[in-house]
């Protein structure tokens, strides 16, 4: 819905600066501000519950997994190598072929 609102120049400048700082439109900033003040949100559905972690309970007796950046980088590299070798199976050094030249 369109409407006209007169704001003091200092408030309009501050709102434009804040919206630009956040990388959002002035409309989005003003909508959020009015929603917060009025206590009404655009979403008419039920409010979403805050997620608590862990989301999946595991066996307390199971061994713990320590995931580090190095571990994740190695997994990613292994997956990339697998994708490459599936695309070019003749170049896969992991598969020994019985072919002789």
Q: What is the pLDDT at residue 97?
A: 57
pLDDT at 75 over 90: yes
Angstrom CA distances, 92 to 53, 83, 101, stand at: 41, 11, 17
Q: ω into residue 82 within 30 of 0, thus cis?
A: no
**CA atoms of 15 and 26, how far apart (whole Å):** 7
Q: What is the pLDDT at residue 100?
A: 53
User: pLDDT for 16-72, tens place per residue?
Assistant: 999 999 999 999 999 989 988 888 776 655 667 777 877 787 888 888 878 899 999
The structural domains of the chain, with segments of one domain joined by +, span 9-38
Neighbour count for residue 28 (Cβ, 10 Å): 12
Predicted model pTM: 0.41
Q: What is the pLDDT at residue 20?
A: 94
């Amino acid at each position: 819905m369109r409407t006209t609102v007169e704001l003091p120049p200092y408030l309009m400048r501050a709102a434009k600066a804040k919206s630009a700082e956040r990388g959002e439109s002035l409309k989005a900033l003003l909508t959020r501000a009015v929603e917060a003040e009025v206590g009404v949100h655009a979403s008419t559905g039920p409010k979403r519950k805050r997620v608590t972690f862990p989301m999946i309970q595991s066996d307390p007796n199971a061994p713990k997994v320590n995931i580090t950046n190095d571990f994740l980088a190695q997994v990613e590299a292994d997956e990339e190598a697998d994708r490459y070798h599936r695309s070019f199976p003749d170049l896969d050094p992991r598969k020994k072929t019985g072919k002789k030249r």
